[in-house]
Structure 1
Amino acid sequence: MRFVALILCAACALVFLLQSVIGTESLLLISSVKWSEPWRLLTSIFAHGSIVHLLSNLFALGLFGLILEGRIGSQKVLWLFLLSGVVINVFSPYPRSLGASGAIFAIIGALAILRPKIMVWVGGMPVPMILAAVIWLFQDIMGVFVPDGVGNLAHISGLGIGVIAGFAWRKRFGDPLFKKEDRDLELDKKLDEWEEKYMG
């Protein structure tokens, strides 16, 4: 399966359309009934509260999801998205919640470890992925103390899950900055070239 990030985007869009027919109440996560109605642990990931909420998440999921997919493959992105979303919902402290942002932050966290040097825009400025993740983490930590109606704890949890996954995958999928064996191979290659050039 390819382009799983776009498939997940399409699923979010379809669920949003479904919400206009059946409403949102049966799909969102409600803490008091999440164990008696466990489907909410999954459906609430794909449900969104408004078109702006949906579009902002679709943009982030499409952008970061495709980048990560190109590095680790479709299947791993799918499992990271779904498992992080469900785990976040299992431990969610919020009475009611919905949206894919927690799972998207897991993707961001993994990218911050696997591709820390790629440039992304934050506040109109290009910054490395690792710095962007730190900035967004700081914003969410501030949001915990100054509530703004955003699931800041879900974002923080997702970022943490993604970072853990990133470290688990870094030896195989990380940029050369994080892969000692790549640096060693490059050094050996340069030494061989130097010996051939200057020592016959």
Structure 2
Amino acid sequence: MGFNENWAIKLTAMMAGIFFLQMLFPVVTDLFVLDATNILYRPWTIVTSIFLHADLTHILFNGFALVLFGSILENIIGSRKFLIYFFVTGIAASIVFILGIPIIQAVQGESATAALGASGAIFGVMGILAVLRPNMIIYLGFFPVPMWLAAIIWAGQDFLGIFIPDNIANFAHLGGLFLGIIIGLSLTGGKIEIGRKKSSANVLSEEEISSWERERL
């Protein structure tokens, strides 16, 4: 595994290591979590919060999604672009989370001011894939759906979450997802091929599908 490749796996490993440090030293979370109440004094937390996670379930779900979707996207666009887009969508998700706090407070009466996790960046990755590989089949629960439809379902869930207290940073997810879609459209010249057959936008190459699996051997 070279330095300039397989960053989806490397980022996941980094997050797992940082989560271990969080468990040993809770001050790590205190220092690097995103908190809208003191963001002007700790601007670095817009980035560092991406690498923090709340509990084992949080890191396991995010790690699985990043290795799966991230490895596919990295094979399509290359490691350099993947890294750039991961951080750009993650930072954007943090900013949108902060901007969305007044809206959450208005509709729910209260809102968390702190957030952590890579979900916003991962939603960005999935948003890009929804454009580049719209007909790639994934499973939502037991149901196979194309990637473009999954993106709509995710967006709908997070939109509804704005009105229902669920302890989820819905605005961060939406910010990452929609910026990912915009980035994807910029890469395709504004085109998205939904439902077409025998197109490079519909079918994953064997290399794309198995890239993350090979790295586990």
TM class, shorter-length: 0.7 to 0.9
**1:76-117 deviations in Å (ceiling 9; x for gaps):** 111111111112223423510000000100001000000001
What is the CA distance between 1:177 and its match in structure 2? 7.5
1:9 aligns with 12
Residue of 46, 50, 55 corresponding to 2:51: 46
Query: 3-state SS of the aligned residue for 2:37?
Result: coil
Given residue 156 of structure 1, which amino acid in structure 2 is its aligned partner? Answer: L
Matched residue pairs, number?
179
Matched, 1:74 2:92: no
Please tell me whether the aligned partners of residues 85 and 125 of structure 2 are also in contact (alpha carbons under 8 angstroms).
yes
1:89 aligns with 94
4+ long deviations beyond 6 Å? 172-178
Query: 3-state SS of the aligned residue for 2:32?
Result: coil
Query: What does 1:149-164 align with in structure 2 at a 5 Å threshold?
Result: 149-164=167-182
Once residues 129 and 91 of structure 1 are traced to their aligned partners in structure 2, the CA distance between those partners, rounded to angstroms, is 23
What is the CA distance between 1:174 and its match in structure 2? 7.3
Once residues 114 and 152 of structure 2 are traced to their aligned partners in structure 1, the CA distance between those partners, rounded to angstroms, is 27
Q: Give the stretch that moved more between structures: 96-105 or 136-145.
A: 136-145
What is the CA distance between 1:159 and its match in structure 2? 0.5
Query: What does 1:108-123 align with in structure 2 at a 5 Å threshold?
Result: 108-123=126-141
Given residue 125 of structure 2, which amino acid in structure 1 is its aligned partner? Answer: I
Given residue 36 of structure 1, which amino acid in structure 2 is its aligned partner? Answer: Y
Query: 3-state SS of the aligned residue for 1:75?
Result: helix
Matched, 1:168 2:173: no
Counting helix residues as a fraction of each chain, which structure ranks higher? 1
1:124 aligns with 142
1:22 aligns with 25
2:104 aligns with none
- TM-score w.r.t. the length of structure 1 is 0.83
1:197 aligns with none
Structure 1 residues 177 and 77, CA gap change in structure 2 (3 angstroms): farther
| Runs of at least 5 residues in structure 2 that lack an aligned partner in the other structure | 99-111, 201-217
Given residue 46 of structure 1, which amino acid in structure 2 is its aligned partner? Answer: F
- Relative contact order: is structure 1 or structure 2 higher (C-alpha 8 Å, sep ≥ 6)? 2
Once residues 133 and 139 of structure 1 are traced to their aligned partners in structure 2, the CA distance between those partners, rounded to angstroms, is 10
2:121 aligns with 103
| Runs of at least 5 residues in structure 1 that lack an aligned partner in the other structure | 183-200
Query: 3-state SS of the aligned residue for 1:25?
Result: helix
Please tell me whether the aligned partners of residues 71 and 173 of structure 1 are also in contact (alpha carbons under 8 angstroms).
no
Residue of 61, 69, 93 corresponding to 1:64: 69
What is the CA distance between 1:32 and its match in structure 2? 1.5
Please tell me whether the aligned partners of residues 161 and 170 of structure 2 are also in contact (alpha carbons under 8 angstroms).
yes
